[in-house]
Homo-oligomer: A and B are copies of this chain.
Amino acid sequence: MQVFADRNAAAAGIERRAKLFRGLADPSRLAILGVLCEGPLVVHEIVKRTGLSQPNVSNHLRCLLDCGLVASDRDGRFIRYRISSPRIAALLNDADALLDVVAEGVGACDNYREA
């Protein structure tokens, strides 16, 4: 039964990882995190910089907020968002480092959509 115990123990960690990566697996959310990595912004600034629609940005911000990847502060009638941890930027940088190695492969992979 040892194998199954290990598997179940690992499963929880795997689910957490999967959920985190799903949070990062959307171009819109990556774009939002990207601009927020450069500094805190209010929503309509994020809309402007990313070119996404306002409800779309709002939806993704809610998602990122629930996941704890961003934090928000009210500022008058604005709400300012920022990344919740510098580790997020670190993770994105690691991803880029990995992409430097496997980029062609990832680009060529047709198992999921191009854009």
Chain A residues proximal to chain B, CB less than 8 Å: 3, 7, 10-11, 13-27, 30-31, 34, 49-51, 62-63, 66-69, 84-85, 87-88, 90-92, 94-99, 101-112, 114-115
Q: Are B106 and A20 in contact (CB under 8 A)?
A: yes
Decide if the interface of chain A is mainly helix, strand, loop or mixed.
helix
What is the CA–CA distance of A30 and B13 in the complex, to the nearest angstrom?
Answer: 10
What is the CA–CA distance of A96 and B76 in the complex, to the nearest angstrom?
Answer: 36
In the assembled complex, how far is the CB of residue A106 from the closest CB belonging to chain B, in whole angstroms?
5
What is the CA–CA distance of A109 and B21 in the complex, to the nearest angstrom?
Answer: 13
What is the CA–CA distance of A87 and B100 in the complex, to the nearest angstrom?
Answer: 10
21 contacts between A and B (CB under 8 A): A3-B49, A10-B34, A14-B34, A15-B115, A16-B106, A17-B96, A18-B30, A19-B109, A20-B95, A20-B106, A22-B112, A23-B109, A23-B112, A24-B25, A66-B109, A67-B109, A68-B109, A69-B105, A84-B101, A91-B91, A94-B94
